[in-house]
Amino acid sequence: MRIVFLITSLHGGGAEFVARTWADTLQAGGDDVSIAIASGSADGSERWTKVPVTALGSGRSAQIKALRSLLAMERVDVVVSLQTYPNLIALTALRSLGDGHRPLHLISERNLVSLGMKGASRSHRLKIAVARRLYRRADHAVAISHPVAAELVSWFNVDGDKCTVVPNPATSKPGLLEPTYVKAVNATDTITLVLPSRLVKQKQPLLALHVAHELNRRGLAARVVSFGEGPLLDACFRTARELNVEFEHAGWEEEWFVKTPSNSVVLLPSLREGFGNVLVEAACAGLPSVALSAALGTADAVVPGLSGQLSASADPAVIADAVLACAELSESDLYPWLSRFTPESSTKDLRDLVVRLQSRVVSGR
């Protein structure tokens, strides 16, 4: 099968990581796979992937033309585009290809777009308005989680029978052992709240400091360690001083889960999440985690009572309760759940979906 993945760039975010993982795994299984990128150069691509990479150049019109030429010349069977801008580039390029040369097209969203519209720029709002008109034209939509799938159907007007959740290959970095148990936190010892996320507004890192302060107020020892970078770093240090909370900035670490202190709870207090890879990574490493239920996508990445807890509110006191509830986690083998997120299982789910869709095209259904 000849497959092209279209992404914004080779690296820099979760969508790029997922596309590279799928592409490399599919190629290892015998498929003919390549990646097209909408920004940057293909030079040095071997650092990131084992498959060929084509740069589409700069400018929307040039990128559409380059993608159209690539698809027509290489007789591609399937195009998988990830995130809004690549989705729109692919949808536009494919419209002008004749039916005899038109590959199957799967779009994919990786975040909850509607929750990020408040305060968005005019250009972003326009891009999303176009997506809401065009997404229904794709052959199928792949969602990172069930909340994202619900948004694709209810907000982007994708038919429900043309939308499928494919679990993220989130165990790629930590690996997965059988059995896998999450260790309950010891509330009588110092609790380290671990922030393995960017220090940006959407991730609400300052909230972790207020949770640590609440735990300290209750007479419990708590501190915060950040494995992220971002514009709110200075605000984190300032808030830590104001609240008299110990804050350590460890800097970005790709394998943050092997450098967490003992008796840690991973905290992801984001406003919104399409999924939350770090929550699965935490479980693979035996670390309990807490996330906000209102972030929605986190519900697919936490098993409450087993791998961690979902906080019903962004109130620091409620989150502190969820952290302490991680002392009561049941000791259960999480391997059956986590195995859904291995690169092999995730890629198989994607390929099986493509094969089903191709068989429908052949049969005329």
Note the helical H segments in 184-225. 206-217
Per-residue confidence (pLDDT) for residue 101, from 0 to 100: 73
Average pLDDT over residues 236-253: 97
Torsion of CA 81, 83, 89, 95, to 10 degrees: 60
Band (pLDDT 50/70/90 cuts) for residue 360 is confident
Mean pLDDT of the chain: 95
CA 353 to chain centre: 20
- Residue 197 pLDDT > 90, yes or no? yes
- Give percent of the chain above pLDDT 90: 90
Average pLDDT over residues 184-212: 97
- Residue 88 pLDDT > 70, yes or no? yes
**Domain boundary assignment for the chain:** 2-169+342-363, 191-339
How does strand 191-195 pair with strand 264-268?
parallel
Per-residue confidence (pLDDT) for residue 255, from 0 to 100: 93
Sequence letter at residue 333: D
Per-residue confidence (pLDDT) for residue 100, from 0 to 100: 65
CA separation for the pair 22, 50 (Å, rounded): 11
Q: What is the CATH number of domain 191-339?
A: 3.40.50.2000
Contacts of 109 (CB under 8 A, 6+ apart): 83, 84, 87, 141, 143, 144, 148, 151, 152, 156, 274
Range from 16-25, 65-74, 106-115, 267-276 carrying the lowest mean pLDDT = 65-74
Band (pLDDT 50/70/90 cuts) for residue 99 is low
CA separation for the pair 81, 151 (Å, rounded): 18
Contacts of 272 (CB under 8 A, 6+ apart): 111, 112, 115, 116, 202, 295, 296, 297
- Residue 262 pLDDT > 60, yes or no? yes
Report which of 80, 147, 131, 81 is spatially closest to residue 297, judged by C-alpha positions.
Answer: 147
Band (pLDDT 50/70/90 cuts) for residue 96 is confident
For 161, other C-beta atoms within 10 Å of its C-beta total 8
CA distances from 59 to 39, 82, 205 (A): 9, 18, 35
- Give percent of the chain above pLDDT 70: 98
Per-residue confidence (pLDDT) for residue 74, from 0 to 100: 86
Q: Residue 212 corresponds to which tokens in the numbers above?
A: 């640590």
Per-residue confidence (pLDDT) for residue 326, from 0 to 100: 97
Q: Which residues pair with 224 in a beta bridge?
A: 193, 247
Sequence letter at residue 179: P
* Domain 2-169+342-363 class in CATH: alpha beta
User: Which comes out higher in pLDDT, residue 218 or 11?
Assistant: 218
Per-residue confidence (pLDDT) for residue 226, from 0 to 100: 98
**CB-based contact 223:190 (threshold 8 Å):** yes
pLDDT digits (tens, 9 = 90+) for 210-229: 999 999 999 999 999 999 99
CA distances from 303 to 14, 40, 128, 182, 349 (A): 21, 38, 32, 11, 21
- Residue 13 pLDDT > 90, yes or no? no
**CB-based contact 77:351 (threshold 8 Å):** no
